[in-house]
């Protein structure tokens, strides 16, 4: 072999080696088309890791008098934010750096006040530039006239399910296709201020068009046994998201209605108005099914653990399937 040919052969070999190394170092990507068998195996693993006792423990913690009812801007809110941050830090989740965040805290102002609140956000990275947001507000009404409002159903239950979902998704060996952001908002009870601030930030950073939002509120099972999907009108339309979420809930063997929001405002409204397809999940939407809403009687003992378990299993499926389909 001539020296020239030898050099060319050597160069080709070096190129092939470098190319192979680059391929090996890339995160595993799967096509967006569904792979039902792979997905169902992953789902079994993820749902199998769900820990009901751990989830209930979060609700007991969050409704403790130590957190003073978790009103935005209070010492109780700051302490519960520290608890949430410490939990999320256990599972190798990351800050949402595209939002300019260097840790899990996102501070905001409550409109027309000097009150500052903190959202808590952690991310499991995927392999595309799309985002699934799982949202639950952790603030509540606080202490009024020396009486504690524990807010177990509204919304310690949703927060506990989010934390347990975050743990299960973080520990999944296979990265999801899309990024998953676990978003714990504050200031929901003060004009949705935390979610409004986050939605505005997502727009400013050019991320809103790549986000789909699943919000949870009143997941404690005090209201009926239908895991309802509250539809928020948005542009672009969230109808496809509604259909997907409803189908997953039905496939999980749960009853579900699709309804227009019937009372109060929930965080999904903030995201929908900023152009993100958004839904809120709740056990039964009618007011009459939530007699303890915004009452001092919204306590841990009123929750129905078996419905909490079903809701959590449904949420795990929703998050993992949305994060792995277009």
Residue number with CB closer to Zn ion (63 or 155): 155
Task: Please list the residues that pair with 133 across neighbouring strands.
Answer: 181, 213
Residue number with CB closer to Zn ion (217 or 232): 217
Q: Identify which range of 37-45, 155-163, 172-180, 316-324 contacts Zn ion by CB under 5 A.
A: 155-163
Sheet bearing 227-231, strands edge to edge? 105-109, 116-124, 179-185, 131-137, 211-216, 278-283, 227-231, 258-260
Site string for Zn ion, 102-141 (x = CB under 5 A): ----------------------------------------
- Say how far apart CA 290 and CA 292 lie, in whole Å: 6
To Zn ion, the closest distance from the beta carbon of 145 in angstroms equals 21
To Zn ion, the closest distance from the beta carbon of 270 in angstroms equals 13
Q: Identify which range of 62-70, 89-97, 118-126, 212-220 contacts Zn ion by CB under 5 A.
A: 212-220
Query: Judged by CB under 5 A, does residue 164 bind Zn ion?
Result: no
Q: Identify which range of 98-106, 147-155, 278-286, 317-325 contacts Zn ion by CB under 5 A.
A: 147-155
Question: Do residues 205 and 100 make contact, with C-beta atoms less than 8 angstroms apart?
Answer: yes
- Say how far apart CA 65 and CA 148 lie, in whole Å: 7
Residue number with CB closer to Zn ion (124 or 292): 292
Greatest CA separation found in the chain?
Answer: 94
Q: Which of 42, 61, 153, 154 binds Zn ion (CB under 5 A)?
A: 154
Residue number with CB closer to Zn ion (42 or 267): 267
Query: Judged by CB under 5 A, does residue 280 bind Zn ion?
Result: no
- Say how far apart CA 68 and CA 79 lie, in whole Å: 10
To Zn ion, the closest distance from the beta carbon of 55 in angstroms equals 18
Burial label for 198, CB within 10 Å (0-12, 13-18, 19+), is buried
Q: Identify which range of 83-91, 217-225, 248-256, 312-320 contacts Zn ion by CB under 5 A.
A: 217-225
Query: Judged by CB under 5 A, does residue 217 bind Zn ion?
Result: yes
Helices (H) then strands (E): counts for the chain: 9, 10
Residue number with CB closer to Zn ion (130 or 270): 270
For the stretch 42-47, contacts whose Cβ atoms lie closer than 8 Å and that sit 24 or more positions apart, written own/partner, are 42/172, 42/174, 42/320, 42/324, 43/316, 43/317, 43/320, 43/321, 45/172, 45/173, 46/168, 46/169, 46/172, 46/316, 46/320, 47/168, 47/313, 47/316, 47/317
To Zn ion, the closest distance from the beta carbon of 83 in angstroms equals 18
Q: How many residues bind Zn ion (CB under 5 A)?
A: 3
Of 250, 197, 71, whose CA–CA distance to 143 is shortest? 71
Q: Identify which range of 101-109, 113-121, 148-156, 207-215 contacts Zn ion by CB under 5 A.
A: 148-156
Residue number with CB closer to Zn ion (219 or 321): 219
Instruction: Name the residues that contact Zn ion, by CB under 5 A.
Output: 154-155, 217
């Amino acid at each position: 072999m001539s020296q020239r040919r030898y050099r060319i052969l050597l160069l080709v070999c070096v190129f092939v080696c470098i190319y192979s190394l680059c391929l090996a170092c890339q995160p595993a990507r799967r096509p967006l088309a569904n792979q039902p068998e792979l997905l169902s195996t992953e789902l079994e693993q993820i749902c199998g890791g769900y820990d009901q006792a751990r989830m209930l423990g979060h609700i007991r913690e969050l409704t403790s008098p130590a957190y003073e009812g978790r009103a935005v801007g209070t010492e109780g809110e700051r302490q519960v934010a520290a608890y949430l941050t410490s939990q999320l830090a256990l599972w190798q989740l990351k800050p949402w750096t595209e939002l300019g965040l260097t840790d899990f805290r996102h501070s905001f102002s409550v409109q027309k006040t000097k009150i500052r609140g903190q959202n808590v956000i952690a991310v499991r990275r995927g392999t595309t530039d799309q985002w699934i947001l799982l949202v639950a507000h952790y603030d509540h009404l606080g202490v009024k006239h020396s009486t504690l409002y524990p807010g177990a159903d509204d919304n310690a239950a949703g927060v506990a399910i989010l934390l347990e979902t975050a743990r299960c998704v973080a520990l999944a060996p296979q990265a999801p296709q899309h990024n998953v952001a676990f978003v714990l908002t504050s200031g929901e009870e003060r004009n949705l201020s935390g979610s409004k601030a986050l939605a505005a930030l997502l727009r400013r950073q050019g991320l809103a068009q790549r986000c789909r939002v699943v919000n949870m509120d009143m997941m404690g099972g005090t209201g009926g046994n239908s895991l309802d999907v509250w539809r928020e009108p948005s542009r672009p339309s969230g109808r496809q998201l509604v259909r997907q979420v409803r189908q997953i809930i039905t496939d999980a063997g749960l009853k579900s209605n699709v309804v227009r929001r019937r009372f109060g405002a929930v965080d999904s409204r903030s995201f929908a108005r900023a152009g993100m397809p958004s839904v809120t999940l709740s056990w039964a939407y009618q007011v009459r099914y939530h007699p303890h809403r915004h009452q001092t009687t919204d306590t841990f003992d009123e929750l129905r653990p078996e419905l909490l378990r079903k809701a959590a299993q449904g949420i795990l499926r929703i998050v993992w399937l949305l994060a792995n389909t277009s």
